[in-house]
Amino acid sequence: MPLSPTSQLKANEELNEPCNPDEVIERARALVIELIGADEQRRFEWALLAMLRQAKWDVDRAVKRMAALSGYAGRHPELFRDASAGEFVGQASVGMMTHLPVRNSRGELVLLVDGEKLTPYAKDYTLTDMLRFSVFYMSVIMRDEETQVNGVIILENLENYPLTALSRMSGTSLSGIKSCFDWMHMSPLRLRGIYACSQPWYVTAMLKMVSPFMPKKLRDRVYLFGDDFGAMLVAAGLTADQVPPRFGGTLEGFDYAWHLR
């Protein structure tokens, strides 16, 4: 699908979209093939345009990131085996993570993360399951050019967030946690903001402890709203009828696995 006129303007002004993107894409593709081979390039073709836009059309930077993505897959082949949407319906149905079927007023894709659901999720699924789902999920949503240009925000409910649930998940180890952070760094996602509500005191304290180690750009995009759901939705560019009650909205009967079904 072609970009909407608004998104095309944003791509030109904010991401340095060239007048001849097809020529630049072909040049980047050829460089990727030189680095990782034609088979690997075809395997990760879904990421090429997203990487170029994330790098604001700095070809060398985007190509290096493509090579790094291939290297990550080589170190973790179990995460990149062939998969289908049906494989992950069970994981999504727990309700820990999904995205809305509508975008916000800025055209951003809206991910929903419910921290409390990490407890039942950790009982039924392993860290490898979670990463495998994340890899599949990313490879699907980042094919959408509107998402490549406008980016993603996270709407997060932190009520009863279980600090120890992840540590009890099968397969969790220092190397496993490192793999999670490495994957976050590898992905071509443009994270535009994290809007969190119902955060307990220990999450606020933890955020203060880790914020000095976060990139400034990310640190400046984390917003905590406590119980003021209305203010959170306004800041996130959403209306109550677009959002399930767990996130301060009025949308009843939301299917967290809708995008997979």
pLDDT tens, position by position, 80-126: 998 999 999 999 999 999 999 999 999 999 999 999 998 999 899 99
| Other C-beta atoms lying within 10 Å of the C-beta of residue 61 | 14
Same domain, 68 and 89: no
Q: Residue 165: what pLDDT? A: 62
Give SS3 for 8.
helix
Same domain, 143 and 60: no
* Mean of per-residue pLDDT scores for the chain: 90
What is the rounded CA–CA span in Å between residue 153 and residue 134?
A: 16
Q: Residue 260: what pLDDT? A: 96
Tokens of 175: 């190397």
Secondary structure in 3-state letters for 43-111: HCHHHHHHHHHHCCCCHHHHHHHHHHHHHHHHHCHHHCCCCCHHHHHHHHHCCCEEECCCCCCCCCEEE
Percent of the chain with pLDDT strictly greater than 70: 93
Q: Is residue 118 part of a domain?
A: yes
Contact 169, 127 (CB under 8 A): yes
Same domain, 93 and 161: yes
Grade residue 208 by pLDDT with cuts at 50, 70 and 90: confident
pLDDT at 242 over 70: yes
Contact 71, 185 (CB under 8 A): no
Find the mean pLDDT for residues 202-224: 74
Contact 59, 31 (CB under 8 A): yes
Contact 80, 252 (CB under 8 A): no
Phi, psi of 103 (to 5 degrees): -90, 165
pLDDT tens, position by position, 138-165: 999 999 999 999 999 999 999 888 766 6
Contact 106, 237 (CB under 8 A): yes
Q: Is residue 57 part of a domain?
A: yes
pLDDT at 171 over 80: no
Lowest mean pLDDT among 118-127, 183-192, 243-252: 183-192
Q: Is residue 259 part of a domain?
A: no
Packed helices 59-75 and 45-54: angle between N→C axes, nearest 10 degrees: 130
Domain boundary among 75, 109, 124: 75
Find the mean pLDDT for residues 220-240: 93
Domain boundary among 75, 100, 135: 75
Range of the domain at 213: 85-247
Rounded to two decimals, the pTM is 0.89
Same domain, 111 and 150: yes
Domain boundary among 42, 57, 75: 75
Q: How many domains does the chain divide into?
A: 2
Task: Return the sign of the alpha-carbon dihedral for residues 131, 198, 111, 193.
Answer: negative
Same domain, 151 and 234: yes
